[in-house]
Structure 1
Amino acid sequence: MTSPAPHPPRPGAGRADRAAMLRVDQAGEFGAVRIYAGQLAVLGDRHPMSRQIAHMAAQEERHRAHFDRMIVERGVRPTILQPFWHVAGFALGAATALIGPEAAMACTAAIETEIDDHYGRQLEEIGEDDPALSGAIEEFQAEEVEHRDTAIAHGAEAAPAYPLLFGMIRLGCRAAIALSQRF
């Protein structure tokens, strides 16, 4: 008598992959909050862009809080790099704002472009296996796209050396994603 064939692997991400997803998503939202804090520290609350930046920061804070709860509920270890992202995020936000408001918007456009791609890959990987996680990612992805579009509408592409700045920030974002998934 032959034994039954093993079940084929389920589509979507496994538990370890989901833990890495949550770890990097929480770290990314934390970093975004810090970037906007750096931008607002330089631009102040009287700059015409400050209201838009504060609105985006509030959305990022809501995203971060949601992923904080999911990490606790699912017993996922957060990234050990959070102290570094605390400083690096603020520094990136402040540095781009010091260059000018267009550079601050270029920073947002670059990061949100990368995060849109990142969240899209995660949604493909999860499929319908984890509605709580995929639902949060879908909702937050739509807001990240809104942030990117707002940044472009408010002069991101007019930043000095925009293609170089955009490309370097996206590259840094990819590195942060890879490091936060692992560590």
Structure 2
Amino acid sequence: MSRDYTPADRLLSRLGQGLALLAPKPAHRANPADRLPEAELAEPERRHTAGLMRINHAGEIAAQALYHGQAFVARDGKVRDHLLAAAHEEQDHLQWCEERLRELGSGPSRLQPLWYAGSFAIGAAAGLAGDRWSLGFVEETEKQVSEHLDEHLRELPDGDQRSRAILKTMREDEARHASEAQEAGARPLPYPVRELMRRVAGVMKKGAYKF
């Protein structure tokens, strides 16, 4: 017997699928660091690098959730496909960061479910404003993530080629996603919204670095 799924059923199903991302799985693309040597890092450098990579891993969890939340309420099928395609590609970032964390003797943020659930809600709220606003949210998110990656690239120890290669590739992907959202009809977000996004990201960065 077929079952008629309510909106609540579909929401719980989507959240369940998203939380399944927290389980390790192979990346679709080769890790950019695969052929690079491991750096000899002093203990403070190793801890700081692990903290940065944990922030980036948490950021990818949040990005996945934002896209899933936006896709869940998208009105236009093309916009929904655009969001899900970006989320699919960024799964590679998630796995690369997790692999690097293991190499550094560390692991992902223990607050992953919180990052996912909160970001899904924010994404759905952004999507309800309309598809062009939703794409604007994607564009601004990717711009801010690119800024964070640039900051982390400056903070990495000079000899850490493996972490640097991962972050550079992520930076290229994020910039492309922002351009694609703009080309798809993104509407620029008002300054107060952009500033609120920065503040929320700042809270996540501090939490993920420590926990």
For Structure 1 versus Structure 2, the TM-score category normalised by the shorter chain is 0.7 to 0.9
1:25 to 56, 72, 75: 56
TM superposition shift of 1:167: 2.2
In structure 1, runs of 5+ residues without a counterpart are 1-9
- The answer as to 2:169 corresponding to 1:139 is yes
Equivalent in the alignment of 1:105:
135
Query: d(CA) in 2 for partners of 1:15 and 1:166?
Result: 32
**Per-residue deviation, residues 9-53 of structure 1 (Å, max 9, x unmatched):** x9xx81111010111111111111111111111127x52212221
| CA radius of gyration, larger in | 1
- The answer as to 2:146 corresponding to 1:116 is yes
1:76 to 96, 106, 113: 106
Amino acid aligned to 1:38: G
- Give the conservation status (yes or no) of the 8 Å contact 1:106–1:165: no
Summarize the Cα distance change of 1:53–1:85 in structure 2 as closer, same or farther, 3 Å threshold.
same
Query: d(CA) in 1 for partners of 2:199 and 2:89?
Result: 24
| Superposed CA RMSD | 2.1
Greater displacement, 122-131 / 81-90: 122-131
- Give the conservation status (yes or no) of the 8 Å contact 1:27–1:79: yes
Q: Structure 2 length normalisation: TM-score?
A: 0.73
**Per-residue deviation, residues 39-95 of structure 1 (Å, max 9, x unmatched):** 111127x52212221221112111101112222232213212212112011111111
Count residues with an aligned counterpart. 170
TM superposition shift of 1:127: 5.3
- Following superposition, which runs of at least 4 residues in structure 1 exceed 6 angstroms of deviation? none
- The answer as to 2:206 corresponding to 1:175 is no
In structure 2, runs of 5+ residues without a counterpart are 1-40
| 1:12-51 alignment, distance < 5 Å | 14-43=45-74, 47-51=77-81
Q: Structure 1 length normalisation: TM-score?
A: 0.83
